[in-house]
């Protein structure tokens, strides 16, 4: 009792405390689940918002011809064309409706008021718009989430409403874009979380209006619970006539929505009263066995552990280890001892390999120093030719010699395989200038370079083969119309080095991408070499990819990480 009694007392107190704290743990877990579910809903709404921005940009702000079309619809053909455009945007289960202000009193050949989606007109004074439409016109281009009533007795739908501003005068609103039946998208996000039986999920807008509900809970919430009003996130427990409930709520400001979980407490905790006592009884029996097992382990473990510790004390890396052969047992300690011996052998081998590697490194440094003599003489000779050409008044020859010297100096890089992005751009710039001298008035090179990326590391000579392909296979045969773009830009997963041309010859990007992985083909060795060197330095997630350019031409893109030299 002296040994077991304290354990039983501690177990009883622990079970009592666990019973009280379990509810808080369940509440925190449910809150995290609600917040993650709310983030998923917000991502779906963000996707809808992005699609509306894209639609308005494509049809009102970027293309004057499209803007004139939408503001002058009058014939039946125009209405059908507008409906076809909006129908294509409704492919995900939602419905797109565009209301255009009828300032000029256009009279379409058919009555548009009966339509549930597609193109519609509203009067210049907005008198024929519902209240939600009038409120959206006052938002100034911002999108709002609303519960929109439907005609003909149909249930209300969740809609996203955005006013359309005049591209020529942002202070004027010329229409409304409405995306309805969003409950089709949002329900998928809500039911993706499996809740206990009798639970329900509610989504409210910023006005406290219930947008939608999912789950089996029969008792609906008509408004945000009072304990959740005005708070960003949290959970609480409430006991009423119908039982005890867990409420977890999350409010997010992006679309001003509130997500509420209502879960019956019995579905979470179950028979939590009997469980701790059953666990306490099991603990008492288990402790009795533990007492006997501890006595056994003292004899089984302590002695071999002490012997293994003594062996580790006498081991010195690189020195032979003399061990007691009798200690090699077949149980876990034998396995541990065998693994220790393997580790010592690998460590001894690593010491030897490190010694040999240092010797080879010294030999490589001597060989590299010797190999720099000839390039140094070549640079000095080219530099002398450059100044001689300038003194002779031949500026073009001098510039070509200067670019050739830079091309060789950066290409050799004193034996280095990795240089900076800035040095790589200098190298390909020198190459472009030489080729433009070779093919005068055939093509132009445009530079779109992010200077903030110049200090990051890149394998050397990876852009020049791409530019060479663009010249010889893309624009060299074009009489002054060839154009090449060299771009650098940053992305979340790394740096993009892009070479793009407007070559008129047809190119199959998929065939080029397949050739990057081929081993036996002699064609495309230069680009395959670039692809493999990038992967060798940075891993399988990086490399070269080709794509068709919009219109004509080819885009070659190299992906490398943000890496210091």
Question: What is the 3-state secondary structure of 162-202?
Answer: EEEEECCEEEEEEEEEEEECCHHHHHHHHHCCCCCCCCEEE
Cβ-in-10-Å burial (0-12, 13-18, 19+) of 553 comes to: buried
Q: Please tell me the predicted confidence (pLDDT) of residue 486.
A: 95
pLDDT at position 124 over 60:
yes
Please, what's the largest Cα pairwise distance for the chain? 108
* Residues 249-279: tens digit of each pLDDT: 999 988 989 999 998 887 777 655 556 667 7
Task: Using alpha carbons, select from 215, 209, 210, 247 the residue that is nearest to residue 231.
Answer: 247
Q: Please tell me the predicted confidence (pLDDT) of residue 365.
A: 57
CB atoms inside a 10 Å sphere around CB 482: 23
CA–CA–CA angle 61, 64, 66 (5° rounding): 85
Q: Please tell me the predicted confidence (pLDDT) of residue 501.
A: 93
Q: Please tell me the predicted confidence (pLDDT) of residue 393.
A: 67
How far is residue 131's CA from residue 207's CA, in Å, rounded to a whole number? 14
Q: Please tell me the predicted confidence (pLDDT) of residue 441.
A: 83
Buried b (16+ CB within 10 A) or exposed e, 102-131: beeeeebeeebeeeebbbbbbeeeeeebee
Q: Please tell me the predicted confidence (pLDDT) of residue 386.
A: 61
Q: Please tell me the predicted confidence (pLDDT) of residue 373.
A: 40
Half-sphere exposure of 58 (CA within 13 A, CB side): 9
Contact predicate 178/163, CB 8 Å = no
pLDDT at position 357 over 70:
yes
* Residues 408-466: tens digit of each pLDDT: 766 665 667 788 999 989 888 888 888 888 888 888 999 999 999 999 999 988 998 89
CB atoms inside a 10 Å sphere around CB 247: 22
* Residues 36-76: tens digit of each pLDDT: 999 999 999 999 999 999 999 998 888 888 888 998 898 99
Contact predicate 499/465, CB 8 Å = no
Query: Which DSSP letter does residue 474 get?
Result: I
Share of residues in the chain with pLDDT > 90 (%): 24
Structure tokens at 390: 């300038």
pLDDT at position 543 over 50:
yes
Query: Which DSSP letter does residue 413 get?
Result: G
Q: Please tell me the predicted confidence (pLDDT) of residue 497.
A: 95
Of the ranges 158-172, 386-400, 493-507, 550-564, which one carries the lowest mean pLDDT score? 386-400
Mean pLDDT over all residues of the chain? 81
Residue 435 gets the label, from left (phi > 0), alpha (psi -120 to 50) or beta, of alpha
* Average pLDDT of the segment spanning 115-142: 86
Orientation of helix 302-314 relative to helix 332-371, angle to 10°: 20
Identify which has the larger pLDDT, 460 or 498.
Answer: 498
- Look up the pTM and report it: 0.47
pLDDT at position 301 over 80:
no
User: How many angstroms separate the Cα of 311 from the Cα of each of 302, 321, 390, 460, 472?
Assistant: 15, 9, 77, 51, 69
Task: Using alpha carbons, select from 154, 184, 193 the residue that is nearest to residue 36.
Answer: 193
Cβ-in-10-Å burial (0-12, 13-18, 19+) of 225 comes to: middle
Q: Please name every residue paired with 118 in a beta bridge, in sequence order, or none if there are none.
A: 97
Contact predicate 482/552, CB 8 Å = no
Cβ-in-10-Å burial (0-12, 13-18, 19+) of 449 comes to: middle
Of the ranges 64-78, 108-122, 334-348, which one carries the lowest mean pLDDT score? 334-348
pLDDT-derived band of residue 107, with 50, 70 and 90 as boundaries?
confident
How far is residue 155's CA from residue 30's CA, in Å, rounded to a whole number? 31
How far is residue 461's CA from residue 408's CA, in Å, rounded to a whole number? 11
Q: Please tell me the predicted confidence (pLDDT) of residue 323.
A: 66
* Residues 223-246: tens digit of each pLDDT: 888 888 878 899 988 887 677 888
Structure tokens at 109: 């050949």
* Average pLDDT of the segment spanning 205-210: 87
CA–CA–CA angle 558, 428, 476 (5° rounding): 95
Q: Please tell me the predicted confidence (pLDDT) of residue 561.
A: 94
pLDDT at position 321 over 80:
no
pLDDT at position 377 over 70:
no
* Average pLDDT of the segment spanning 100-119: 85
Q: Please tell me the predicted confidence (pLDDT) of residue 383.
A: 58
Q: Which residue has the tokens 């999108």?
A: 143
* Average pLDDT of the segment spanning 174-192: 90
pLDDT at position 162 over 50:
yes
CB atoms inside a 10 Å sphere around CB 58: 12
Q: Please tell me the predicted confidence (pLDDT) of residue 272.
A: 58
Phi, psi of 513 (to 5 degrees): -65, -40
Residue 340 CB contacts under 8 Å (≥ 6 apart), including other chains: 308, 311, 312
Q: Please tell me the predicted confidence (pLDDT) of residue 565.
A: 64
How far is residue 497's CA from residue 423's CA, in Å, rounded to a whole number? 13
CA–CA–CA angle 147, 152, 153 (5° rounding): 60
Structure tokens at 445: 């090179």
pLDDT at position 353 over 70:
yes
pLDDT-derived band of residue 349, with 50, 70 and 90 as boundaries?
confident
Q: Please tell me the predicted confidence (pLDDT) of residue 274.
A: 58
Of the ranges 172-186, 303-317, 379-393, which one carries the lowest mean pLDDT score? 379-393
How far is residue 51's CA from residue 160's CA, in Å, rounded to a whole number? 11
Sign of CA pseudo-dihedral 248, 251, 252, 256: positive
Q: Which residue has the tokens 């070479």?
A: 499
Of the ranges 452-456, 508-512, 518-522, which one carries the lowest mean pLDDT score? 518-522
Q: Please tell me the predicted confidence (pLDDT) of residue 329.
A: 66
Cβ-in-10-Å burial (0-12, 13-18, 19+) of 266 comes to: middle
Sign of CA pseudo-dihedral 312, 318, 323, 328: positive
* Residues 81-104: tens digit of each pLDDT: 999 999 999 877 889 999 999 888
């Amino acid at each position: 009792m002296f040994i077991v009694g304290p354990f039983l007392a501690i177990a009883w107190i622990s079970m009592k405390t666990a019973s009280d704290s379990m509810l808080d743990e369940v509440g925190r877990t449910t809150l995290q689940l609600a917040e993650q579910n709310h983030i998923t809903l917000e991502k779906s709404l963000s996707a809808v918002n992005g699609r509306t921005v894209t639609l308005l940009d494509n049809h009102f702000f970027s293309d004057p011809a499209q803007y004139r079309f939408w503001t002058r619809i009058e014939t039946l053909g125009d209405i059908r064309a507008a409906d076809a455009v909006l129908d294509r945007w409704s492919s995900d289960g939602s419905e797109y409706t565009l209301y255009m202000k009828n300032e000029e009193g256009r009279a379409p050949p058919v009555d548009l008021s009966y339509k549930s989606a597609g193109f519609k007109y509203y009067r210049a004074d907005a008198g024929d718009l519902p209240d939600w439409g009038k409120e959206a016109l006052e938002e100034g281009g911002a999108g709002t989430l609303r519960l929109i009533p439907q005609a003909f007795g149909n249930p209300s739908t969740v809609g996203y409403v955005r006013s359309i501003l005049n591209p020529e005068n942002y202070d004027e609103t010329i229409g409304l874009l409405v995306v309805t039946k969003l409950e089709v998208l949002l329900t998928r996000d809500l039911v993706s979380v499996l809740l206990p039986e009798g639970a329900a999920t509610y989504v409210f807008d910023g006005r406290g209006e219930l947008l939608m509900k999912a789950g089996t809970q029969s008792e609906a919430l008509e408004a945000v619970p009072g304990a959740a009003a005005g708070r960003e996130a949290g959970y609480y427990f409430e006991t009423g006539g119908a039982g005890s409930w867990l409420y977890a709520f999350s409010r997010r400001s992006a679309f001003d929505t509130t997500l509420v979980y209502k879960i019956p407490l019995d579905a979470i905790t179950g028979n939590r009263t009997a469980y701790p006592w059953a666990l306490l009884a099991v603990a008492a029996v288990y402790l009795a066995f533990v007492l006997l097992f501890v006595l056994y382990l003292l004899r089984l473990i302590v002695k071999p552990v002490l012997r293994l510790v003594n062996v580790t004390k006498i081991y010195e890396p690189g020195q032979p280890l003399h061990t007691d052969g009798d200690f090699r047992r077949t149980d876990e300690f034998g396995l541990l001892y065998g693994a220790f011996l393997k580790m010592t052998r690998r460590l001894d081998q690593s010491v030897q390999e490190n010694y040999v590697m240092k010797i080879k490194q010294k030999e490589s440094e001597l060989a590299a120093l010797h190999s720099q003599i000839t390039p140094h003489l070549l640079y000095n000779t080219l530099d002398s030719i450059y100044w001689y050409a300038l003194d002779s008044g031949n500026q073009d020859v001098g510039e070509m010699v200067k670019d050739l010297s830079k091309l060789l100096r950066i290409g050799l890089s004193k034996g280095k395989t990795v240089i900076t992005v800035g040095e790589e751009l200098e190298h390909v710039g020198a190459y472009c200038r030489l080729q433009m001298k070779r093919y005068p008035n055939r093509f132009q090179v445009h530079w779109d370079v992010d200077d903030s990326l110049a200090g990051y590391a890149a394998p050397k000579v990876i852009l020049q083969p791409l530019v060479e392909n663009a010249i010889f296979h893309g624009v060299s045969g074009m009489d002054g119309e060839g154009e090449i773009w060299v771009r650098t830009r940053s992305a979340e997963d790394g740096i993009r080095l892009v070479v793009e041309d407007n070559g008129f010859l047809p190119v199959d990007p998929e065939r080029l991408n397949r050739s990057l992985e081929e081993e036996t083909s002699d064609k495309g060795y230069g680009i395959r070499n670039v692809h493999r060197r990038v992967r060798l330095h940075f891993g399988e997630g990086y490399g070269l990819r080709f794509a068709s350019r919009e219109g004509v031409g080819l885009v070659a893109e190299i992906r490398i990480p943000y890496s210091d030299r």
